[in-house]
Structure formats: C-alpha cells, structure tokens
Amino acid sequence: MISDNILNYFKDLDPVSVALGVGIGAILDYIVSLIISPKGSGQINPGIDKDSAKVATMCPLKDIEDTVKKSDKGVVAYCRCWRSKKFPYCDGAHAAHNKKTGDNTGPLVIKK
C-alpha cells in the first residue's frame, strides 16, 4: 500500500511544472545525443573511402608478413575504429574515440 506521505507529495505537484520539467529533460537528452553522435545515423565509418559501396581492405598474407618483419617492434596494428589517419593501419586514434564515446575498440595486432 502507498503511504500517505507519497500520495500527499504527488497531490501537491503542479502539472504544468511537471510537464515543463519533462520537456526540458527531453530537449537536453536530444542535445546530448547530437553531441555524442553528430550525424545521428549510427555510421561507424566517418570518412574513409565513402564513395565506395563497401570498404574491404585486401592485404595478402605476404604483405602482412613483410610489414611485420620490417617493424622495429615485430608487430603491425590494423585499425578497427575507422578513425586512423593511416588507415588501414592503426595510429592510436581509437583512444580519443573510446574516451569520447565510452567504447572499448582497439586495433587488430599481428605479431611474429
């Protein structure tokens, strides 16, 4: 059973104030969603090869092996966040993306 204190609280609320509060909350939620996802489209790829119907990067195994061998650390990292300026290679852009969005994406790392 609902206590009398709660019923009295809701009885004294002004409906216009409640509607105004809900409306302001909805507007703020909309503005925040635009800031987090400016396009609002849900697209992952922000600008890499957008003229193509589909972006598929082909890397022959020999090229990957050669790249790993040439690396001073013996690893090569491929971008999975679509924000790298060196795409398809990772440049660490996922760190800023993760901080901004709360995501946890990272590169595909291939090592010897």
**Active site (catalytic) residues:** 54
| Nearest-angstrom CA–CA distance, 31 and 33 | 5
| Nearest-angstrom CA–CA distance, 33 and 28 | 9
CA 66 to chain centre: 32
| Nearest-angstrom CA–CA distance, 56 and 4 | 64
Structure tokens at 89: 């290679």
Phi, psi of 66 (to 5 degrees): -65, -40
